Structure 1
Amino acid sequence: MNDKIMVIQVFVVLFLCINLLLITTFFTKEVFYTTMRYVLFAVTLMSDCLLLFLANILLIFSYYLYTIKMWLCLIIYIVLSLYIFVTPVTLTAMTLERYVAICLPLRHGELCSPRSTLHGILIIHILSSLPCIVFLSIFFASASYGSYSQGRVCTVEIFIIHRWQGHLKSAINQFYFLIMCITILFSYVKITRVAKAASGEDKKSTWRGVRTVGLHALQLLLCLIQLWCPFIEAAVLQINLMLFLNVRYFNYISFILVPRCLSPLIYGLRDEMFIHALKRFALCGLHKKH
Structure 2
Amino acid sequence: MSGIQTNTTVGPQYRGLLELVLSSIPITLPCLVFLYINGVMLFTLRSKPVLRETCRYILLYNLLFADDLHLTLSQLLYFLTFRIRLTYPVCGVLIMFAYLFSDISPLTLVVMSLERYVAVCYPLRHSTVVTSRNTAVAIIVIWAFSSLNVLTRLVLLLHFPFENLQTLQMTARCSPQAMFLNPVSEQYDKVYTYFLFVSAGVTVIGSFIGVTIAATSASTDKASAHKARKTLLLHLFQLGLSLLSTLYTPLFIAISAVVDRIRALHMQTALYVVVVMLPRCLSALIYGIRDNTIRPILMYYLCLLSKPKF
Please give the TM-score of this superposition, normalised by the length of structure 2: 0.83
Q: 2:181 aligns to what?
A: 161
More deviation, 170-179/159-168: 159-168
User: What CA RMSD, in Å, does the superposition of the two structures yield over aligned residues?
Assistant: 2.6
Work out whether 1:23 is the aligned partner of 2:50: no
Aligned ranges 1:131-146 → 2 under 5 Å? 131-144=149-162
User: Which ranges in structure 2 are unaligned for 5 or more consecutive residues?
Assistant: 1-18
More deviation, 231-240/85-94: 231-240
Please give the TM-score of this superposition, normalised by the length of structure 1: 0.89
Alpha-carbon offset, residue 75 of structure 1: 2.3
After superposition, the Cα gap between the structure-2 partners of 1:282 and 1:247, relative to the gap in structure 1 and judged at 3 Å, is closer
Distance across 1 between alignment mates of 2:307 and 2:274: 37
Task: Mark the structure with the bigger radius of gyration.
Answer: 2
- Alignment deviations for residues 197-216 of structure 1 (CA, whole Å, 9 cap, x no partner): 4689x322221111111011
Asked if 1 retains the 8 angstrom alpha-carbon contact of 2:248 and 2:276, the reply is no
Distance across 1 between alignment mates of 2:299 and 2:258: 50
Asked if 1 retains the 8 angstrom alpha-carbon contact of 2:162 and 2:168, the reply is no
Identity between Structure 1 and Structure 2 (%): 27
Aligned ranges 1:30-49 → 2 under 5 Å? 30-49=49-68
Distance across 2 between alignment mates of 1:275 and 1:218: 21
- Alignment deviations for residues 97-145 of structure 1 (CA, whole Å, 9 cap, x no partner): 1111111111111221111011000111122223322222111111425
Corresponding residue SS for 2:24: helix
- Number of equivalenced pairs: 288
User: Which ranges in structure 1 are unaligned for 5 or more consecutive residues?
Assistant: none
- Alignment deviations for residues 255-287 of structure 1 (CA, whole Å, 9 cap, x no partner): 211111110122222111111222344455578
**What amino acid is aligned across from residue 291 of structure 2 in structure 1?**
D
Decide which of 261, 273, 280 is 2:293's aligned counterpart.
273
Q: 1:79 aligns to what?
A: 97
Work out whether 1:259 is the aligned partner of 2:279: yes
Q: 2:9 aligns to what?
A: none
More deviation, 25-34/220-229: 220-229
Corresponding residue SS for 1:180: helix
Asked if 2 retains the 8 angstrom alpha-carbon contact of 1:102 and 1:206, the reply is yes
Alpha-carbon offset, residue 62 of structure 1: 1.6
